[in-house]
Structure 1
Amino acid sequence: MFSLVCHVSPEIKPPQNIPDRRETAYETLGVDPFADYPEISSAWRQLSEETHPDRIGHDKFQEYYSIQSAYYNIYIDPRRCAYDQSRGIQGKWADKVKECDEMLLAYTRALAQKDRERAQAREAKAREEDKTFEDDTTEEMSGSRQAVIRKSSIILDIPPSHKEKVVASDEPEAVSVELNQPGNENAAEKDLGTRFREAEERLANRAREGLSLVR
């Protein structure tokens, strides 16, 4: 008979939890948690100059980025108090929870108001640009329409003082004109083909006379 032997491996203990000890913004800038703004600003400027990528090389950008992030978190009181309380830093805002909350609320509302004002300004600018575009387009279309009427009047030998209604078809020269003037009732009764033939005859006569046609 064969016996089954259980081999038990020795107990493996899990690694002990090591607290995540990240450098604080104050440590990055080398200032005390109770430091005032002038001291924080001075340290930030000096470190920014020393670690700028243009000075030490762009491959060492991380250190410069860490300094900018640290300064961003604590350079104004609303962000600084939120940063200190979220990380339990014993500093300027350690025992001022209520004051910090009120400051954060006012700061958030101010930011929201600025965002609304910027959005309204963008909308007003967009509306003004749309209106300007519509006005320019209308003026351009009106100018083109008047140019067509003037050219058609010259081609068909119509005095510019007459009131005309020009209707253009798919054919370049197929233009019919209705003259709204007294004593022209017979012309109004003519069919479109007759008026078209008369227009062609006038064009042919003018070509024979050596006059240039305006198209």
Structure 2
Amino acid sequence: MASLVIAVDGPAAAGKGTLARRLAAELRLAHLDTGALYRATARDVLAAGIEPNDAEGAAAIAAKLDPASLADPALRSEAVGRVASVVSAHPSVRAALLDYQRNFAHRPPGGAAGAVLDGRDVGTVVCPDATVKLFVTASVEARADRRVRELEAAGGPVDAGAVLADMVARDERDTKRSAAPLRPAHDAVVLDTSGLDADEAFEAALAIVRARARTAGRPQA
């Protein structure tokens, strides 16, 4: 079993992915963006011409997902993100991807001493026994603004109003779905990044992780 598992959950564009990657690099742990699994499933659902609301079809795609494809830049597109929000609400899709996530957490690749997983339900469902649980959030306006800036940096015109509306709709789906709804674990530390830049958010998160890890007797943090 890995000696240190860090769960980083939160809504879209709250900054959890950036934090998780930086924490993993700082602490020399393996990192898994669990959202990439759902985005990859969404990409393959689109490629196969399957309707996102087709739970059985989406679950079949998820069951044969190739983890080697998780670095595909196409996963970051808005179209894939919208479909990912739909397919991730299917209990059968979530069940198909659960074992992969748990195996990564408790048997991290490369001989790492632990793992950092970020997503929507890591602390509540995937790794309820995680050493440290962070719930990273921000106001929907702040998150939409971050996403607009990301899209603008990638090139092309961006409809800020549409991005905000999509963010609100995604939050609604994520928090209201029956399977693993987005919510902080009862023992998670909530970190609001609305007024923080990337470095400030990282320092705050690292301090929380080190304090929780010491309490749990994990000296490597």
Q: TM-score, normalised by structure 2?
A: 0.21
Q: Highest CA radius of gyration, 1 or 2?
A: 1
Structure with the larger RCO, 1 or 2 (CA within 8 Å, 6+ apart): 2
Q: TM-score, normalised by structure 1?
A: 0.21
